[in-house]
Each structure stands twice: as C-alpha cells, then as structure tokens.
Structure 1
Amino acid sequence: MNLSIGNINHVNPSTMIPKQKKSVGEAQASFANALKNAINNVNELQNVSDKKTEALALGKIDDLHDVMITAQKASITLQATVEIQRKAIDAYTEVMRMQV
C-alpha cells in the first residue's frame, strides 16, 4: 500500500550542502525564502481545505472522503510546521545559552 501526502517535498541531503560559500546576507535571504515558501504551502493547503469544507456544507460537492482527506493534510502540515517552529526556537535558545 503506497500512501503519500502531496506537496511535501523529499529532502535530498546533497542539496543541503552548499556548493560554494554564500555571504551572510545571501544565506539569510535563502533561509527567508525557504521559510516563506513553506508557510505559503501551509496557507494554500488550509485555504483549499476551507473551500472544500464550505462547498460540502453548501451542497456543491458530495465527496466527503475528499474533504476529510484534504482537511487532514492541512491539519498534519500545520502541526508539523508548529513542531518545526518549536524545535527551531529550542535550538536558538540552546545556542544562546552556550558560553563562548
């Protein structure tokens, strides 16, 4: 049985290693763009879920399974995003506690 969640990209470790050194500004911009894209993805999934739920309530669609699957995808993606945020804050806090 092959179950997959769409819109979640596989992370290839070789793409995580920079080919050349970036300046601090370029690294910050790259990180900011990655975060922006991830948040936009979560937002898009939430919007699609809301639209399908509203269409089901108005009787425009009758595929309850599709609506529930879309809602679960949006929920799981949001939960993962919140957990990643917590881990990033914990890591930042830990780095700030380190003595130099």
Structure 2
Amino acid sequence: MEEKEEGRAVNGVVVVDECWWWAAASAAQLGWGISTFRKGYAGDSRLMPFKAFAVASLFVGAAASAAVASLRASGLRSVEDMKALGTNIRTELGLRPRARDK
C-alpha cells in the first residue's frame, strides 16, 4: 500500500496539497457574505432574523474555512503537532517549560 504525502512526489506521482480547496471555500463564503450584507434586505420583515442568521453563518463559515486552510498549509495535522509547536516557540523565546500538575 502506498503512503500518501501531500505536496511531494510519491512513487513518481505528485500529490497536490489540498489546502487550496479550503482557501477557495473561505474566499467564496466571504464574498457571498459581503455581497448579501451590502445588498440589504427587501421583503417581509418577519424573515429578517433568518436573513441576519444566514449572513452571520457565512462569515463564521469563512473564518472557519480560513483557519483550516492555514492549519493544513502550515503542516499541523494533530494536537501533538500543535503542542510541539508551542514548546518550540517557548524554547526559542527563552521561556522555561510550564510546570505540569501531577
């Protein structure tokens, strides 16, 4: 069974990073949210809360998609990777390791 590594040639086949899908989704949601927000609301006033919730959901979804894209692009795949990154940052700043509760 072949092991897939993103962005590298594996057994002669180039595997493309998939983080651009997340970035495209984020840009699309953000654009849709901005256009919907700028268009305003014309219609029955009873549906205004639904429209506000829909626009807010587009902005939250865009932020979530952008966050996933940045994590995937940076190579962070698990919580252990994030812990190691935090430890490396603290070490580079010259800070002592945090005390662990036992």
Q: TM-score, normalised by structure 2?
A: 0.46
Q: TM-score, normalised by structure 1?
A: 0.46
- Higher helix proportion, which one? 1
Larger Rg: 2
